[in-house]
Structure formats: C-alpha cells, structure tokens
Structure 1
Amino acid sequence: MGQDVRSPRGPRCIALVGPFQSGKTTLLEAILARTGAIRNAGSVDAGTSVGDASPEARQHKMGVGLTAATTSFMGDSYTFIDCPGSVEFAHDMRAAIPAVDAAVVVCEADERKLPQLQIILRELEDLGIPRFLFLNKIDRANKRIRETLSTLQPASRVPLVLRQIPIWNGDLIEGFVDLALERAFVYREHKASEVVALEGGDLDREKEARFSMLEKLADHDDALMEQLLEDIPPPRDAVFDDLARELREGLICPVLLGSATRENGVLRLMKALRHEAPGVSETAKRLGASSSKDALAYVFKTVHLQHGGKLSLTRVLAGHLDDGATLQSSSGEAGRVSGISAVSCAHDTKRASAEAGDTIALGKLDTVKTGDTLSAGKTAPAALVKVEPAPPVLAMAIAATDRKDDVKLGQALLRLNEEDPSLTMIQNQRTHDIVLWGQGEMHLRVALERLRDRFGVNVKSHPPAIGYQETIRKTITQRGRHKKQSGGHGQFGDVVLEIKPLPRGSGFEFSERVVGGAVPRNYIGAVEEGVVDGLLRGPLGFPVIDVQVTLTDGSYHSVDSSDLAFRTAARIGVSEGLPQCQPVLLEPIHIVEIVCPTDATAKINAILSGRRGQILGFDTREGWPGWDRVRAMMPEAEIGELIVELRSATAGAGSFTRQFDRMAEVTGRAADQIIAAHRVAA
C-alpha cells in the first residue's frame, strides 16, 4: 500500500465521541488552537469554548448537542463533530457518525466509565466506522499503561493496539514514545512536543511495546508474521501501511495518548488521522452509495436559528453541489438550496458550492429532515442511513403558562422534534395534556429551556397522569329517567339498564333486548352514546372498563322524547348504577426490561423491589460481556422516575424499555391514597 493510499485527498470529517466529561470539547479546542483555526483554546468551565456554545450547554457545563468546526492541517481540511457524551443526548451522535470518515474515542483511565465506553464503541463497531482511542488526561495517570489498556480492552471487540507508551519521570508522565516512528517526544505545554534521544530503560520498553504492537498487526498480515518469526525488522512504511489498513477494515483500534487541557499529543493525533483515516470515497462505499455524477449528501443534524431560519448540517458524499440546486430527498420531498455555509470558526462562511467530503450547512430546506439522503439527480435517492431514536424513558406533562401561547407552543415543539427526534410529544386524550417524552431528566430540562429561550414560550410542567381505570364486580339493574318541562316541548327519556362486569381485557359491550317498542329503535343509538358518556368517569373518578350494559326496558313520550333526552337518561342510569356495582380501582402494569452492567444487577433488583416490581428473571445480555438483562412487572405509577435511579446505580449506562401488559386491581390503603390524590388534583 503506497503513501497516496495512506493519505486520502479531499476534506475529511471526524467525530469526537466518548463518555460524559472525558474531555471531547477540550480536545476540539486544542485541535483548533494547534492548527491555527483559533488563537487560543477556550475553556468549557469559563464558557469560552467553540464547542458547547449554546446557552444551555454553557449553563450546565456539558454537551447538550453536537458542534461542528472545520480547520486545516498540512494542507488538508478537517471537520470535527464534537458529540455529547451524556447518554441522554446520544441521538445527535447516532445521527452524525454514519457519515464520518473516522471517530476519535476520547476516554480516560476510569473504570467507572467502562460501560459508557463499551456502548459508544459498540455503536462504532456495528456501523464499521474506523476509530482511534485517545487516552486523555494522561498527565493525571496513576496507573501503568499496560494496566490501563487491560482495563479498557473489555469495552472493545477488537484489539486495542498501543501506538505510544509514556515516558515517566518519577510518578509524572513527561512525554511519550511513538512505537511506529520509533521516536521519543517530551511534552511542551501548548507547544509542539520536542524530539529527544531514545535511550536507556525507555529504549528497552520501546522495543518490548513495539514488538507487542507488531504481533497484533501480524495477526492479519502473514508477511509481517514471517518477518517477526525470523527476527527481520519490518520496513517502517509497511508498518504504517498495516496500521492504516487494519484501522480501516475495523480489525484494530489504535490507542494514542495525550492531555487535551495541555494540548499534548494533539499533533501526533492529527498526523495519525492524516495518514491513516480513510477519505470520503471509502465512507460513501461503506454506506452503500451507488456511483453517480450527481451530488449525493446526508443530513446529520437540523438546527432552527432564532433569526436565521432552518439549517441542515450535511456531509457531501459525492459530486459537486451548487447553491440554488434543487435536491431530491429520500423521504420523497424536494427542496431548493438557499445558501451554503462552511461549518468553521471563521466569520465569513458563505460558499458558492461544495465538493465531495465537505461538511456544510444548507439553508431553507424546509421539507428536509435529519437522516435524509439528498441527491441533485432527478429521482429521489435511496436512504443510506436509518437512525431510530432510542425509546423514551421519562415524561412530563406540559402546558403554556399563558393560554394565548398554545399555538406558539405547538409550533415550537414541532421544531424541537425536528432538531432532536429523540424528543416525542403525545396528546393525552383524556386529560388534554401535552406529554413530552425524552431520554432523561436533563434532556427534558434542556428542552424546556430551549422552549423558553429560543422560541419564547414559557411552560409549566407536572408529572403526567397515570392511566388508572376502574371496573365493577357486581351486576345490577338501574333505571335512568330524564324528564323536563319548561313550556312548549319538554324532554322525556326513560331507560332500564343492566350493568354487568366482564372479564379483564374485554373492554365495553352494549346490547339491547327491548320488547314491544318500549324504547323506539331510532333512540337506541342515543342510549348507547349516553352509556359511553356515563362510563367516562366512574364513582372513583376514572374511566370504567370491562363492563357490559344492556338496555332491557324503558318508556317514551310521543312528543317530548328525543335523542338528547334518551342520551341524558342513559348517562343518569349509568352514573347512578355504578356506585352500587362494587367499583374497584385498576392500575396499568408494564413489563420492564432493563440492561445494566453485571456489577449493578443486585442494585437494580433492589430498586425494582422498592418500586413494587415483580422480578420475572434475569440473564446475561447476549453479545455484551459484563452486562445483564433484567425483566420485571411494574405498575406504571412506579416507572415514572425509574430512569433517574437506574442511571445513578449504573454510572449513567443503564437503560430500559417497557411495554403495557395488563390492568390489575389496586385495593386497600394504596387505592384509597390514589383516589384521594386524584380528587384533590381534580
């Protein structure tokens, strides 16, 4: 493999991913500063960073959305996409990474973050994305590098191959040895590292570590294996070729060292990306893009600017794209580009066109959404990527503080959902609440802040209503009579109803066995409507289910009877009869499936038991070493903030899905408390 293959031409796009607070945004600052895109690296804590620049990110000092920034290095253009580390904002990462050329996984030697690291590496592995591991905060390391590597290895399905080893000065790391280059470097804070002589104990360690690296490369290169067996030093170019090939084929994950806050290790990382990361043509091939002269692009993020309209952050995968071009979308919509901008730190970012490899923002594509594939051809392209949001795990009911803002709130929620499809909105038909579902407590909090700050809508929130219902245990017969006389035609309706319980899950049934025309046929539909009205709110305050109501008798007046009168009579009959039917409260029960690291399973079981959960069993999570899957039955009322406890017990890595199973009776004190609370709220 030659040098031209190892250094692809054209702009490249690199994702910065990693566990929460591993230093991704700080690394982006260091890269931009070392490559001259900005004068000095900003600080997340001081609120001066290019990444995490939104008001919400500044306020919470954490990534709550991705940031894209472009710089150049040794004549090549690189766009870095800084992805949030919190699992609550992971959808941004999932939508962006399919179209990047490679990923830099930023992590540290912290065993507690291993499950988060495993989740991220699994995403990259499943998509076949080449990845480097950047072991950050190396200046704070208190373990030997081999010990750290053996701690991190279980998170990766492919070998973690050490590219560098640290140079120790007592208990401090002062530099590193590049095992591929066979050179030693001493760190200089905020400056390029200085080459030093490789000698003494460092030379012995380098030979041993380099041989270990070559052994792992030789697992996929017979010629290299033969050279090692015969003690023939392999040519340096051949070693670099192997590193590049095995990275791109997903056979290894190279590990580089550094400290983002001190800008150490940044230039070596950039050189590794330059020589070893694939280019856009290989990325398009990985995505299954068909060869065509037409421009082909992928939208990985939608942004609604407060005053600048809609922007679609896009990676051009092939061809040439002009401003003003009409693009066909994989979702079947077409749109005309109104403005192309580079995603860079410069002020003047407008462009007339874009080429394959460029990462750009396209203006005013109102019908295009995140995840769409775009083509400048005449037909809609096939979708190259399908990104499904993770199932939501936490909900809150919201309403505009000022009723005049109801329409504005609806429009703002649609825009929020366009920006972040992992937020979902459901209208509760019974309570008329808007229920906002998200990925966790912070996710929902940030959504409310965006509604207020960006869209100018203040909202109030409260826990969503639980889907309590009620049923009956006893059969009765009840007359319902409605008679009203007020001059002219009056109102008269008279019905006799049999109200009877049905087996659980049967729903509602209505029938009639009227004889002799006691209730004329044309009023029977109105009687059924009145019965339904009466079941909407039972004696305990909740909708009534699993009931059969039969119209058995009644009477009418030739002048005063009407549909409205019989509907009212039926509602009265049901409302007066239900309290005599031994009403009982029902609560929804869900099957909950939790995935968690094995060392947290005992805590999870305790959490479930404390929330009235009935554990159905647990086993290992298939294909995930060190993880378990726990199944339980849980009342819906207990699931509300389950995710908060779950994340706390699993260092942010655990999650769950749920599915409605059945309605179950609630009796005694628990039922009394629920009914009393409902009456107070009503």
Structure 2
Amino acid sequence: MVVDKPKGPRSIALVGPYSSGKTTLLEAILHICNETDRKGSVTAGTSCGDSSKEARERQMGVEVNAAHAQYLGDEFTILDCPGSIEFFQETENALAGVDAAVVVCEPESERVLTLSPLLKSLQEKGLPTFIFVNKMDKAYGSVHDLFNSLQAVTDRALVLRQVPIFNDSIISGYVDLASERAYVYKEGEASRIIDLPPEMAEEEGTSRFAMLEKLADFDDHLMEELLEDIEPEREEIYALLQNDLREGLVTPVFLGSAENENGVRRLLKALRHEAPEASVAAKRAGYNPSSGEPVAQILKTYMSAQAGKLSLARIWSGEISDGDSFAVGRVGGIYRLQGGKSEKLEKATEGEIVAFGRLDSAQTGDVLMVDKTINAPQDGAFAPVYSIALVPERRDDEVKLSAALSKILEEDPSLKMEHKQETQELLLWGQGEIHLNVALDRMRNKYGLEVKSRRPKVAYKEAIRKAAKQHARYRKQSGGHGQFGDVHIEIKPLPRGSGFNFDEKIVGGSVPRQYIPAVEHGVKEYLEEGPLGFPVVDVAVTLFDGQFHSVDSSENSFRSAARIAMSEGMPKCEPVLLEPIYKVELSMPSEYTSKVNSIVSGRRGQILGFDAREGWGGWDVLEAMIPESEVHDLIVDLRSATLGVGTYRSEFDHLQELTGHNADKVLQNKN
C-alpha cells in the first residue's frame, strides 16, 4: 500500500488546555521554519501568538491567532487557539476550517481529564488529530501510564509513535516506533540519529508491536502479517498511519519539549506527510473544490479602531483576488496574518487561510459565495453561564457603549447582550469572569470607553397570602373644577404563575363605565412596586363599588384613588417575597459528582436526580432547582471542583416564597 504525500497549503489548529504550551510550540515551529530570527516568549511579551494587548497582560490566549510557515517546501497556516475553557467558542469556530488539529498537553496523568471535552469535539467533527505531549523534559512518571490515561478520555484509538530514551532519569532522546530509529535531542537543533541503545530493545519491541496491533484493528492484511510473524514493510506502516489518521480511526501521540525544540521537527514531518490536503476538509464541510467556484468560510472576525474589520477565512475552492466580490460585498484587501502583523496579497487560492478586509456584512461562521451567503447559526455551541451589568462611566457614553458592544459581539460571537426589562439593566453574558473582563478591556483599549460593571440584580417579585377589601377616596379642590374619585376594591391572591387579573362588579353606575379603565390603570401602576419594593404578581383586583362627582370626577382622579386603595390595602394582605428558581442541568465527570452535589446543596439547591451523560463515558448529568441569586457565580465553584471541565445550562422555572433571614437580607439591601 502506497499513499501519496498530501499536496498544497494546509491548515493546522494548535489546541489544548491553558498553560500546556501551545504558543511556545508555535514559536518553536516558526523559528525552525525560519519565519523568525529568534523565538518569541509569552512571558516577555514577544510571541507571535497571543499578540493582543489583552492576551499580553494576562499571558494567556484570548482569541485565535494565525501564522504562516513553510517546512521543507510545504505551506502551513497555523491557528493558535486559546486554552481557557472560557474562550473555547473561539477554538470551535477555528476548527471548522482546518485540516487537522494538534492537541498540546502536559505529561501529567492527573490533568488528562481536562482534554475530555476537546477530544470529544474533535471526534464529533471527524477532524484528524495529533497529540503532542509537551514539557517532556519536566515529566515524571511512566509514559505508558500517561498513554493509558489519555486513552481513557477518548473513544479514538491512540497510537504511541515514540518512546523516550532516558539518561540518568532525564529524557535525552526518543525511538521512533514507525521507522525503528533512535534519536538524541540537540537543543535548538535537529535531533541526531544514534544506534538503538541495547537496554531499549525490549521496550521498543513491545511498544512497536502494540502500535502495529492498533493499526491491524483497521487492516486485515496487517493482521494476517502479524499472525504469521511477517515483518510489515515500512512503507505499508506509514501508509496505514496516514490513511487511518485521515479516516479518524487513530490519533498518533508524539513526545517533546517545545521550549527546547525537542520533538518539534518530528511533529512537523508527521504533519507534512500525514495531515490531509485541503480538499478533504472541503468535502467534509460539504464543498467541492473541483467546481472552481470561489467559496470561503469566515473563521474569526477581528475589529480594530484604526484598521477596521478583518475577516479570517478558509478558502474552500476557487481563487480570490483583491477587489473580487461576494454576495456580502467587495473584498477590500487580502492579507496573510502573522500574529499581530499582516502581509498584503494580490490573491489567494484554494486551501489558504487569509484575512479579507472591509466585508462589513460578513459574520464569523458565514460561508461566502458569489451569488449567496450561508449565514452562521446565531446561537453558539455553549450557552452563556456568567453575566455582569454594564453602566457607562458617563451618561453621555450610552450611545457609544451600544456601538462598541455591537463590535465586541461581532468579534466574539460567544458574548451575548441582554436588556433585562425586569431590573432595567444592560447585561453582558459570557463564559466566565475572565471572558467578560477581556471584553471590558477591549472596549477601553480599542474604543476608549470606560465601563463600570456590577453583579446583576435578581428579579425578585412579591405576592400576597390573603385577601382584603379597601375603600379609598381621592379629593382635591384647587379653584375651578376639583378632582374626585372614590373606589371600593377587593384584593385576592391567585395561584402561583397566574399573573394579574382585574375585574369589576359595578351595579347601578356608582362608577361610570368610562372611568373603570382608569381604575385598572391605577392598580397596575401600583403593582410595579408593591409594599416590599418589588413588582407584584399573582393577584386579582375587583372593583365592586364607588362614587363619582358629575363635575369633578375624571380619569386621573379615579386612577389616583385606585393607587391609594392599593397602597393602603396591600399591606393588609400579608405580602411575601418571591425569588426566581431556575432549573439547572449540570454536567461533570463522575468522579466529581459528589463534590457537585455539595455545591448545589450549599447554594440552597434542590437536587432532582442525576443520570449518566449520554454519549459521554464516565460523565454524569445532575438536575436541580437553584435560586437565581445562587446561580450567578455557580460556574466558578463548578469549574474549581472539576478541573475546569464542568458546565451547566439553566432556565427559569418558577417563583418561590422566600422567608426568614434570606428574605430579611434581600429587603435590607433593597432599602
């Protein structure tokens, strides 16, 4: 079996948990490929990746960064994706347009669980995946134990491609199991081939046979060779590795240290020979490159106060020149991005990732064609789980805030904006505190807008426990026509969730028909803020008697009389505070379920039950009812208890009476 080496430009995503070393790996790749004179540093703020001011200040990725490199004649665009779970939507958007992903992780078995959601997503997408175990120079423990831990968090078959060579407990090189060659590391240089150390022969043989067994699970011919003790040809092994990766059957695992450039060249060679060419990803996305029709998909939107809008796009087919038009508009510049820098191009062809300028109507995720645009779904993959209320420093900045927010949301579609009518607040929703702080920093850094943030108010309500009747009269004499309105009303509680009901039982015209709507209006005005200071719900008010004056009565006087009747009658009805209760579905690895139970109970939650998470081996789903006031920062405790991988979805379910100390505290804060 012989498979041709893939051709043409390809795109690779670097993904993995925060602090795993993705940006350091990118710097090593760019240096090896002679794209940079010296390796950049995240801590020194000189890296090509994490180039934005917000990323530099935090020394962490907060958005996708693109870079270009050539290795032995092959062109690659590398997308350095953020590692924090709070920016995972950025990674998801980028993965839609790449040929393969390199999962970068640390050699710590106890942290392998953090890879679970990412590996699950890559498998669902059918995306060819490599694993690069970084920081092997600082590793402790067995490589095989680490490998088994990795296999436990993915359904794809992992294939260990290397075993380390130790020298006085320090990794000094590796054995390539496909070629059966041994190499010794040279810091900052290519590894040097050496003879296989005699003491490594047994481990190499066992590990290589395990690799071949994995491959034989997907190839009958190799299985027959192994059963008959026939040594397979090297070309056959490489062909199977390439084909099985492309089909999503196996995930190869490589070892190295990006900081020292150890194992990086071996990874690059694997990408060069095994990462599928662009046409495979195009077909997976549903497009035919052979059609020649210009088709591009927006992977990321960048907004700049000076340079305007840039749309990072994967070209699925055709050739696109500066000035060409899509249905969304005319391309105003084509750029190759290198971190925070850009190079202007005349044109770009199938397989490349470039940035288009001035496509103001294009949104992240959109597929652009000459005659139409396939719009991206508005809802992201992850529901927002954390919010803040926004208030501009100056009242004059309210219009400016609205304009800045629209651009911030366009750049980061995982952010959501909500005008909450119940509390009269403007809310910004996202995936966590860091996520929202980055958005606030962008407003300040890009648009010069200072915004205060605070914890959102809870939409408390109030209701009544018993009925009461009340008489009220409004009389005012100020020369000329006076004002007179007289009403008798009955106030009754309604079942929870019933809302508001107004009725009248006037007999004999004691209140003229034209004034009855004004009475209802006055009642509703009062219910906007009841005796406890919150909107009143689940109440029925009946107008059953009253008096009027033929000259002095008016709509305004009866509306005022109704408000007085409500203000005097409602305190007699035993008002009670209601708090919103949310139905929450929490997802977490099974080993942390008991911790999450404690978190829910500690937040006054009522656990309804739990079950296995469908399609996620070793994960549970817990359902609970939790007060809105306790949901606000639930994600902080949840992630802290689950190595950052736990999450939840919530929706309003019902209102529930709140009494005792908790109610007193709410009322005290209200006053």
TM-score bucket (shorter structure): over 0.9
- Quote the residue 2:137 is aligned against: 139
Corresponding residue SS for 2:283 = helix
Alpha-carbon displacement from aligned partner over 1:298-319 (angstroms, at most 9, x marks no partner): 1011111120111111111111
- Quote the residue 1:435 is aligned against: 427
Aligned pairs (5 A) from 1:513-592: 513-592=505-584
**Contact 2:108–2:139 under 8 Å retained in 1:** no
- Quote the residue 1:352 is aligned against: 346
Runs of 4+ in structure 1 off by over 4 angstroms are 345-348, 381-387
Corresponding residue SS for 1:261 = helix
Distance 1:235 1:392 in 2: 52
**Contact 2:65–2:339 under 8 Å retained in 1:** no
**Contact 1:153–1:159 under 8 Å retained in 2:** yes
Distance 2:3 2:614 in 1: 41
Corresponding residue SS for 1:541 = coil
**1:367 Cα deviation from its structure 2 partner:** 1.1
Corresponding residue SS for 2:78 = strand
Corresponding residue SS for 1:545 = coil
**CA distance 1:326–1:287, change in 2 (3 Å):** same
More moved, 384-393 vs 219-228: 384-393
One-letter amino acid matched to 1:580: K
Distance 1:415 1:113 in 2: 36
**1:395 Cα deviation from its structure 2 partner:** 1.3
**CA distance 1:341–1:387, change in 2 (3 Å):** farther
Which of 26, 29, 38 is 1:31 aligned to?
29
Corresponding residue SS for 1:343 = strand
**1:670 Cα deviation from its structure 2 partner:** 2.0
**Contact 1:94–1:387 under 8 Å retained in 2:** no
**Contact 1:502–1:547 under 8 Å retained in 2:** yes
- Quote the residue 1:497 is aligned against: 489
One-letter amino acid matched to 2:505: R
Alpha-carbon displacement from aligned partner over 1:528-562 (angstroms, at most 9, x marks no partner): 22111110001011100000011112223333333
Q: Does 1:306 align with 2:305?
A: yes
- Quote the residue 2:468 is aligned against: 476
**1:637 Cα deviation from its structure 2 partner:** 1.1
**1:347 Cα deviation from its structure 2 partner:** 5.6
One-letter amino acid matched to 2:35: A
**Contact 2:51–2:339 under 8 Å retained in 1:** no
Distance 2:192 2:377 in 1: 44
Which of 39, 62, 65 is 1:67 aligned to?
65
- Quote the residue 1:167 is aligned against: 165
One-letter amino acid matched to 1:528: E
Corresponding residue SS for 2:447 = coil
Distance 2:515 2:319 in 1: 70
Q: Does 1:231 align with 2:229?
A: yes
More moved, 484-493 vs 20-29: 484-493
- Quote the residue 1:369 is aligned against: 363
TM-score normalised by length of structure 2 = 0.97
- Quote the residue 1:676 is aligned against: 668
**Contact 1:620–1:627 under 8 Å retained in 2:** yes
**CA distance 1:629–1:439, change in 2 (3 Å):** same
Q: Does 1:487 align with 2:479?
A: yes
**Contact 1:19–1:113 under 8 Å retained in 2:** no
The number of equivalent residue pairs is: 670
Q: Does 1:506 align with 2:498?
A: yes
**CA distance 1:293–1:387, change in 2 (3 Å):** farther
**1:497 Cα deviation from its structure 2 partner:** 1.5
Corresponding residue SS for 2:508 = coil
Corresponding residue SS for 1:155 = coil
Distance 2:378 2:583 in 1: 27
- Quote the residue 1:405 is aligned against: 397
**CA distance 1:280–1:667, change in 2 (3 Å):** same
**Contact 1:287–1:385 under 8 Å retained in 2:** no
One-letter amino acid matched to 2:458: I
Cα RMSD over matched residues? 1.7
Distance 1:247 1:212 in 2: 17
**1:385 Cα deviation from its structure 2 partner:** 8.0
**1:78 Cα deviation from its structure 2 partner:** 0.5
Distance 2:283 2:297 in 1: 13
Which of 233, 244, 267 is 1:246 aligned to?
244
Alpha-carbon displacement from aligned partner over 1:589-626 (angstroms, at most 9, x marks no partner): 11211111222222111111111112222222222222
Distance 2:662 2:39 in 1: 57
One-letter amino acid matched to 1:112: E
**CA distance 1:230–1:312, change in 2 (3 Å):** same
One-letter amino acid matched to 1:341: Y
**CA distance 1:244–1:441, change in 2 (3 Å):** same
One-letter amino acid matched to 2:554: S
One-letter amino acid matched to 2:148: S
Distance 1:384 1:445 in 2: 26
Which of 171, 175, 178 is 1:177 aligned to?
175
**Contact 1:130–1:250 under 8 Å retained in 2:** yes
More moved, 647-656 vs 380-389: 380-389
Distance 1:2 1:353 in 2: 34
Alpha-carbon displacement from aligned partner over 1:501-533 (angstroms, at most 9, x marks no partner): 101110111111112222222222222221111
**Contact 2:49–2:339 under 8 Å retained in 1:** no
Q: Does 1:463 align with 2:461?
A: no
- Quote the residue 1:331 is aligned against: none
One-letter amino acid matched to 1:34: I
Distance 2:571 2:30 in 1: 72
Distance 1:558 1:115 in 2: 79
- Quote the residue 1:16 is aligned against: 14
Which of 207, 210, 225 is 1:209 aligned to?
207
Aligned pairs (5 A) from 1:610-649: 610-649=602-641
Distance 2:377 2:203 in 1: 45
Distance 1:238 1:304 in 2: 48
Q: Which runs of 5+ in 2 are unaligned?
A: none
Aligned pairs (5 A) from 1:65-214: 65-214=63-212
Corresponding residue SS for 2:361 = coil
**Contact 2:48–2:338 under 8 Å retained in 1:** no
More moved, 489-498 vs 123-132: 489-498
Distance 2:340 2:117 in 1: 34
One-letter amino acid matched to 1:189: E
Distance 1:518 1:367 in 2: 62
**Contact 1:371–1:387 under 8 Å retained in 2:** no
Distance 1:518 1:323 in 2: 79
**Contact 1:587–1:635 under 8 Å retained in 2:** yes
**1:384 Cα deviation from its structure 2 partner:** 8.2
Distance 2:620 2:134 in 1: 29
**CA distance 1:206–1:581, change in 2 (3 Å):** same
Q: Which runs of 5+ in 1 are unaligned?
A: 329-333
**Contact 2:606–2:626 under 8 Å retained in 1:** yes
One-letter amino acid matched to 2:173: G
**Contact 1:14–1:80 under 8 Å retained in 2:** yes
**Contact 1:98–1:385 under 8 Å retained in 2:** no
Aligned pairs (5 A) from 1:329-348: 334-344=328-338
Alpha-carbon displacement from aligned partner over 1:181-211 (angstroms, at most 9, x marks no partner): 2211111111111111224122333222222
Q: Does 1:421 align with 2:413?
A: yes
**1:387 Cα deviation from its structure 2 partner:** 6.8
**Contact 1:304–1:311 under 8 Å retained in 2:** yes
Distance 1:470 1:94 in 2: 43
**1:214 Cα deviation from its structure 2 partner:** 1.1
TM-score normalised by length of structure 1 = 0.95
Corresponding residue SS for 2:152 = helix
